[in-house]
């Protein structure tokens, strides 16, 4: 299966964000999408961007929180397994652990990649007028790879912040946030408008 340039960009954004690339054999892997009830529409949109990859329908799942014991629902959609996804698995999950590759700029050169990544893990403060892009449990070196990729691809200048319990994040100042949001706004779904500083 050969992905289009747009599909590759969306795939990069969602792998950097909330998706999981699961190994299914020595060379194959599949893409697992999971989103909460409020983001059901977003999960459907992601799967629909890969009509040859996703068959069937998403499943509504239930999970009990180990501490609060509350049950919450979410949606899961798993793709077919393909050798192409196996290549992505090797790039983003060396030794089985998710990482940010040093050559990330090659994957996130299109605005749609950054838009999907931001919809997954971005945060906008309407009071402070700045934004964060959360990277999770990555090393500082990986966080620097992410910052450099965005600088090279889009000309923005995010700063690496250590958010302690939340892991590393990229910080966009007020000025950089305006440029970031202006670039990705055309690709951001209406349900994520709250993450943008721009008025439609």
What's the per-residue H, E or C state across 15-80? HHCCCEEEECCCCCEEEEEEEEHHHHHHHHHHHHCCCCCCCCCCEEEEEECCCCCCEEEEEEEECC
For residue 145, the model assigns a pLDDT of 97
Note the maximum CA span of the chain: 49
What residue has token string 């000309």? 155
Say what the pLDDT of residue 200 is: 45
Q: Are 12 and 52 in contact (CB under 8 A)?
A: no
Six token digits for residue 15: 């792998």
* Spatial separation of the C-alpha atoms in residues 58 and 75, rounded to whole Å: 6
Average confidence (pLDDT) per 10 residues, the chain, 200 residues? 93 96 94 94 96 91 88 94 96 94 96 98 96 95 97 97 92 96 96 83
Written as six digits, the tokens of 112 are 């749609």
CA distance 152 to 139: 20
What's the DSSP call for residue 82? B
Residue whose C-alpha is closest to residue 156's, from 171, 168, 169, 141 = 171
Identify the sign of the CA torsion 194, 109, 117, 131. Answer: negative
Q: What is the dihedral of CA 96, 97, 102, 107, to 10 degrees?
A: 80
pTM: 0.94
Q: State residue 12's pLDDT score.
A: 98
Phi and psi torsions of 113, nearest 5° = -65, -45
Confidence (pLDDT) at 16 = 97
pLDDT of residue 56: 83
């Amino acid at each position: 299966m050969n992905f289009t340039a747009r599909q590759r960009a969306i795939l990069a954004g969602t792998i950097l964000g909330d998706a999981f690339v699961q190994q299914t054999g020595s060379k194959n892997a599949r893409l697992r999408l999971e989103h909460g009830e409020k983001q059901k529409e977003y999960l459907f949109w992601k799967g629909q961007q890969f009509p040859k990859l996703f068959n069937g329908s998403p499943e509504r799942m239930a999970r009990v929180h180990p501490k609060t014991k509350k049950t919450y629902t979410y949606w899961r959609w798993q793709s077919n397994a393909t050798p192409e996804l196996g290549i992505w698995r090797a790039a983003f999950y060396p030794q089985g652990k998710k990482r940010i590759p040093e050559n990330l700029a090659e994957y996130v050169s299109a605005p749609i990649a950054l838009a999907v990544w931001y919809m997954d893990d971005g945060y906008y403060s309407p009071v402070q007028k700045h934004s964060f892009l959360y990277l999770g449990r990555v090393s500082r070196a990986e966080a620097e790879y992410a910052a450099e990729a965005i600088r090279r691809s889009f000309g923005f200048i995010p700063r690496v912040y250590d958010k302690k319990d939340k892991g590393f994040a990229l910080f966009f100042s007020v000025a950089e946030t305006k440029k970031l949001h202006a670039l990705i706004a055309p690709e951001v779904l209406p349900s994520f408008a709250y993450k943008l500083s721009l008025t439609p």
